[in-house]
Amino acid sequence: MDLHGIGYSNIRLPNDQKSYIYTYDSRINTFPEEVFVHEFLHSLERILMEYGYDIPQLHDNEKYGYKEQRLVGLKQWYNDYMTCNITTSNGSKTGLDPIVYNLKPSHESNFKYAVELDFSKEPQNIIEEIKGLLENIFNMFGKKQTIEQN
């Protein structure tokens, strides 16, 4: 989940050789959306931990009696984790505290160098795409210098 210490979830997509290794195949894959749900839950888990909440680790499913099932994977674990409906050894319920759905990341540095996207201005060719990329890079460095100077 952590990419160079900045907290982004990383989901790997097919490579340039058009490999279909990551496409759904019922003999291989279970619950194909699972990777997206899993990485998103890591983001929510991280936010709650930064705010000091004591929650189960996302990878502790077996500790709470959840096993991966054919075709649906850990769907029940993720559902119970998201709804704070995991039964603990003493009978209480645990999981993600519902407040997580209203919180933003606790560190302002997560927003310092955000790049505003304008989806109405999609590049029409490779030249426009490269130009837009360079503009974003120069704008980011310009903001960085302004922030560091203040």
- Burial (0-12, 13-18, 19+ Cβ within 10 Å), 103: middle
Instruction: Let me know: does 145 contact 112? Beta carbons within 8 Å.
Output: no
Could you state, in order of their start, the residue ranges of all structural domains in the chain? 1-104, 112-149
Sign of the alpha-carbon torsion through 75, 79, 84, 90: negative
Tell me what pLDDT residue 4 has.
Answer: 47
Q: Which pLDDT value is given to residue 71?
A: 73
The pTM (predicted TM-score) of the whole model is 0.57
The predicted pLDDT at position 46 comes to 86
- What is the pLDDT tens value at each position of the chain, 150 positions in all? 444 454 555 555 555 665 655 555 556 555 556 777 888 898 889 889 988 999 999 999 999 999 988 777 888 999 999 999 999 999 999 999 999 988 877 666 665 655 666 666 677 788 888 887 888 777 767 654 443 444
Using CB atoms within 10 Å of the CB of residue 81, give its burial: 0 to 12 exposed, 13 to 18 middle, 19+ buried.
buried
The answer to whether residues 56 and 112 touch, using CB atoms and an 8 Å cutoff, is no
Residue 82: the pLDDT is 95
The first and second tokens of residue 75, run together, are: 């769907």
